[in-house]
Amino acid sequence: MARQELARFLRDRRASLRPQELGLPVTDGQRRTPGLRREEVAGLAHMSVDYYTRLEQARGPRPSARILDALAQALRLTPAERSHVFRLAGSVVPPGGTAVRPVRPQVARLLERLPETGAIVTDAAYGIVAWNPLAQALFGGDLGAGTTNLARRRFLGQGRMYESSSAEEFGHIVVARLRRAADRYPNDPQLATLLAELRAGSEEFGRIWETRPVHAPGHRAKNLDHPRVGRLRLNCDVLLVPEDDQEVVLMTADPGSPAERGLRALASAASVHPVR
């Protein structure tokens, strides 16, 4: 247990919060300390002031997972900060409740600024939770009206998927990510429903699942046969949104290539719709 580091983190986080942000009464006059008082944090975390004080002074015992979760809620920690606190306390980070599906506004705006790049955001269960017009042209016009889950598209044929040279490889990538999601979010009902559908509807999914594939997000290339502009050789690169366990997938073509001309043709023809 890294007592000094944990104590410093708790003090710094407490000092960065303001009572009004947490719905606490703000008394008239000058507060002697910046941020919250120790007794305010202890009250929000439902623990004694003495116990919390000892943690901040690096004198406390190793806190339990329940205590750490209470502190994470009281101090409004992000998922990354919550994991950091568990590691400082020498505890295993317990899985979260459910996968994050809303998209941060700044991430959605990023997609809007890439008119000649196909861009999507996927959640931990491979649901497409945001996309731009060029991505819709690449994935098929039914992207918004049909299923937005890539696992259902790949294994159950739900939604249009133009033929791709990397279909087999992508199947293993999908299963690897879903296995990670199942470990992280064992209580997510939407994820449980998805896995049940895939097991019941695809023998291929079941076979790949049993191989326990492992995949790290990164660069890959694929050929996509598009009915309008023909074969496109696309580069797929992934940017991580670690706090939300989401991935931004960017689909581009090599400069001066036929695929680049094809993407430009699709981009110019794509209807301008707001990014979801």
The lowest-confidence range among 15-24, 125-134, 166-175, 249-258 is 15-24
State how far the Cα of 266 lies from the Cα of 260, in Å rounded to an integer: 10
What are the φ/ψ torsions at residue 246 (nearest 5 degrees)?
-120, 160
State how far the Cα of 132 lies from the Cα of 117, in Å rounded to an integer: 9
Instruction: Let me know if residue 250 belongs to a domain.
Output: yes
Task: Say whether both 76 and 149 belong to one domain.
Answer: no
State how far the Cα of 244 lies from the Cα of 169, in Å rounded to an integer: 25
Whole-number pLDDT of residue 22: 74
Instruction: Let me know if residue 274 belongs to a domain.
Output: no
pLDDT at 113 over 50: yes
Averaged over 109-127, what is the pLDDT?
Answer: 92
How sure is the predictor about 82, in pLDDT bands with cuts at 50, 70 and 90? Answer: confident
State how far the Cα of 6 lies from the Cα of 12, in Å rounded to an integer: 10
The lowest-confidence range among 27-31, 243-247, 249-253 is 27-31
Instruction: Let me know if residue 97 belongs to a domain.
Output: no
Residue 39, domain CATH: 1.10.260.40
Task: Say whether both 109 and 206 belong to one domain.
Answer: yes
Instruction: Let me know if residue 100 belongs to a domain.
Output: no
Task: Say whether both 111 and 248 belong to one domain.
Answer: yes
Task: Say whether both 84 and 123 belong to one domain.
Answer: no
Task: Say whether both 147 and 21 belong to one domain.
Answer: no
Task: Say whether both 122 and 248 belong to one domain.
Answer: yes
Task: Say whether both 63 and 114 belong to one domain.
Answer: no
pLDDT at 272 over 50: no
Task: Say whether both 179 and 253 belong to one domain.
Answer: yes
State how far the Cα of 21 lies from the Cα of 61, in Å rounded to an integer: 30
**Parent domain of 34:** 3-88
Domain boundary among 88, 117, 135: 88
Averaged over 106-114, what is the pLDDT?
Answer: 89
Instruction: Let me know if residue 202 belongs to a domain.
Output: yes
Task: Say whether both 111 and 58 belong to one domain.
Answer: no
Averaged over 120-138, what is the pLDDT?
Answer: 92
- For residue 261, the number of C-alpha atoms closer than 13 Å in the C-beta half-sphere is 6
How sure is the predictor about 273, in pLDDT bands with cuts at 50, 70 and 90? Answer: very low
Strand ranges (DSSP E) for 28-141?
118-122, 128-131
Task: Say whether both 32 and 126 belong to one domain.
Answer: no
Instruction: Let me know if residue 95 belongs to a domain.
Output: no
pLDDT at 207 over 90: yes
State how far the Cα of 176 lies from the Cα of 160, in Å rounded to an integer: 22
Residue 263, domain CATH: 3.30.450.180
Rg (CA), the chain: 23
Whole-number pLDDT of residue 100: 81
Task: Say whether both 158 and 264 belong to one domain.
Answer: yes
How sure is the predictor about 274, in pLDDT bands with cuts at 50, 70 and 90? Answer: very low
Averaged over 57-62, what is the pLDDT?
Answer: 89
Number of domains the chain is built from: 2
Domain boundary among 61, 88, 115: 88
Instruction: Let me know if residue 93 belongs to a domain.
Output: no
Task: Say whether both 137 and 252 belong to one domain.
Answer: yes
Q: Which amino acid, one-letter code, is at 137?
A: A
Domain boundary among 88, 116, 143: 88
Whole-number pLDDT of residue 261: 95
State how far the Cα of 263 lies from the Cα of 269, in Å rounded to an integer: 10
More confident residue, 49 or 104: 49
- Threshold 0.85, pTM exceeds: no
Averaged over 3-20, what is the pLDDT?
Answer: 90
Strand ranges (DSSP E) for the chain?
118-122, 128-131, 220-226, 230-241, 246-252
Q: Which amino acid, one-letter code, is at 209?
A: W
Instruction: Let me know if residue 111 belongs to a domain.
Output: yes
State how far the Cα of 157 lies from the Cα of 179, in Å rounded to an integer: 20
